[in-house]
């Protein structure tokens, strides 16, 4: 039995096949229907005067629909469903966070009116181009990992962006980031990048992840005075002289460089040599250093 005075209702893993009977909920602000058997969004209009968070993660929904009355929504999770088109969000102008992870979207569209968004998750879809985001000037976090993106572009208006995740795409070059001067975390692992470049204006970067690419040199990083974590494992880095570039990053405390020729060819000396060059390191790969203990 649903408590009519409940502000948070969690119905996860209840094998619910249709949405009904929520009229009795007079105060609910957060509704979780994760991991159910829903095929359609319906029957939620009765919650329009109170609902601010809706979680429909991991169902069988094929279409975004019947949300037009939920004008107070600030958080919406539609991840792990079967949707092909981003639509039906026209009235949800108060949305701050939207999760669309693991669907079948091929295009970023119909989001331009969501100008209050601070977080957008579109990972693990079939998206080929970064587009349709120019009006989302309040966006601080953008997740586009595991798609089919080949080029970084159309991000210049997102000047408040702090986190950008583009891992597991088809990107060959770091570019198009000049205007993102507030960027703090950049994730670009498992692409086809051959060179570290294009970060001249990103001086607030604290985390840079370029693991699993085709990079041969550690370069163009010495100006990143805020850099704390550098992940470049599983590349083709071989020259110890490149470590002088990292030495110039005064706040660097974590490096991942395993599975590079630099490590595999000097396995017994690898950690010791890194510590000699950068004595302030707290973590090398997955292991903490003595100075961190």
Two tokens at 287? 């292991």
Per-residue pLDDT band at 292 (split at 50, 70, 90): low
Residue with tokens 């609910």, as numbered in its chain: 28
Confidence tier at 266 by pLDDT (50, 70, 90): confident
Q: How far apart are CA 259 and CA 196, in angstroms?
A: 18
Q: Which fold has domain 193-293?
A: 3.80.10
pLDDT 10s digits, 79-101: 999 999 999 999 999 999 999 99
Of 9-23, 57-71, 104-118, 169-183, the one with minimum mean pLDDT is 9-23
Q: Supply the mean pLDDT for the chain.
A: 96
Q: Where are the domains of the chain?
A: 193-293
Asked whether residue 56 carries a pLDDT value surpassing 90, the answer given is yes
pLDDT of residue 245: 95
Q: Residue 168 has what pLDDT?
A: 98
d(CA 109, CA 88): 11
pLDDT tens for each residue of 2-49: 888 999 999 999 999 998 889 999 999 999 999 999 999 999 999 999
Between CA 54 and CA 216 the distance in angstroms is 45
The band of 190, judged by pLDDT with boundaries at 50, 70 and 90, is very high
Q: Is the model's pTM score more than 0.85? A: yes
At residue 277, what are phi and psi to the nearest 5 degrees? -80, -40
């Amino acid at each position: 039995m649903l408590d009519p005075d409940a502000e948070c209702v969690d119905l996860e893993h209840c094998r619910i096949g249709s949405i009904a009977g929520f009229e009795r909920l007079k105060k609910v602000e957060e509704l979780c229907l994760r991991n159910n058997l829903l095929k359609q969004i319906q029957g939620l209009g009765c919650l329009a005067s109170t609902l601010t968070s809706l979680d429909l993660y991991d169902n069988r929904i094929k279409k975004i629909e019947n949300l037009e009355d939920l004008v107070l929504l600030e958080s919406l999770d539609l991840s792990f469903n079967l949707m092909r088109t981003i639509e039906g969000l026209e009235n949800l102008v108060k949305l701050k966070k939207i999760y669309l992870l693991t669907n079948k979207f091929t295009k970023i569209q119909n989001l331009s009116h969501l100008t209050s968004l601070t977080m957008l998750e579109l990972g693990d879809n079939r998206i080929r181009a970064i587009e349709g985001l120019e009006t989302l000037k309040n966006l601080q976090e953008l997740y586009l990992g595991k798609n089919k993106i080949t080029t970084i572009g159309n991000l210049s208006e997102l000047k408040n962006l702090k986190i950008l995740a583009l891992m597991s795409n088809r990107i060959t070059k770091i570019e198009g980031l000049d205007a993102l001067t507030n960027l703090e975390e950049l994730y670009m692992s498992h692409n086809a990048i051959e060179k570290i470049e294009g970060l001249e204006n990103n001086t607030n970067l604290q985390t840079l992840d370029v693991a699993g690419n085709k990079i041969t040199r550690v370069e163009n990083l010495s100006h990143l005075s805020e850099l704390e974590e550098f992940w470049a494992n599983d590349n083709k880095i071989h020259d110890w002289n490149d470590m002088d570039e990292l030495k110039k990053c005064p706040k660097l405390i974590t490096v991942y460089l395993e599975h590079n020729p630099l490590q595999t060819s000097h396995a017994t000396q690898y950690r010791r040599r890194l510590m000699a060059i950068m004595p302030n390191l707290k973590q090398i790969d997955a292991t903490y250093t003595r100075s961190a203990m």
